[in-house]
């Protein structure tokens, strides 16, 4: 059985684009439970970047 996607696409594509007050410089994504928070977060903070974890982004 195949599922046919509606012609309108995904709901997320219908949202207006987010307005950034500052351009995004780096987007670093990691799989859960791989030490991304501890290692990558610390490294990026040492380089002077503001680091946001997805759990904090969802609650804002």
DSSP strand E in 1-60: where? none
Global pTM exceeds 0.95: no
Give the count of domains, the chain. 1
Boundaries of domain holding 32? 25-59
Residue 20 located in a structural domain: no
Residue 19 located in a structural domain: no
Residue 40 located in a structural domain: yes
3-state helix, strand, coil in the chain (%, to 5): 35, 0, 65
Residue 44 located in a structural domain: yes
Residue 18 located in a structural domain: no
Q: How far is CA 35 from CA 28, 29, 32, 39, 50, in A?
A: 13, 12, 8, 6, 18
pLDDT digits (tens, 9 = 90+) for 20-49: 888 877 777 777 777 766 788 888 889 898
Examine the pLDDT at 4 and tell me if it is beyond 80: no
Residue 48 located in a structural domain: yes
Residue 31 located in a structural domain: yes
SS3 55: helix
Residue 36 located in a structural domain: yes
């Amino acid at each position: 059985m195949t599922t046919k996607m509606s012609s309108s696409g995904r709901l997320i594509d219908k949202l207006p684009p987010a307005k950034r007050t500052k351009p995004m410089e780096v987007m670093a994504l990691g799989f859960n439970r791989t030490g991304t928070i501890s290692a990558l977060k610390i490294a990026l903070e040492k380089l002077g970047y503001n680091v946001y974890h997805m759990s904090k982004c969802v609650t804002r």
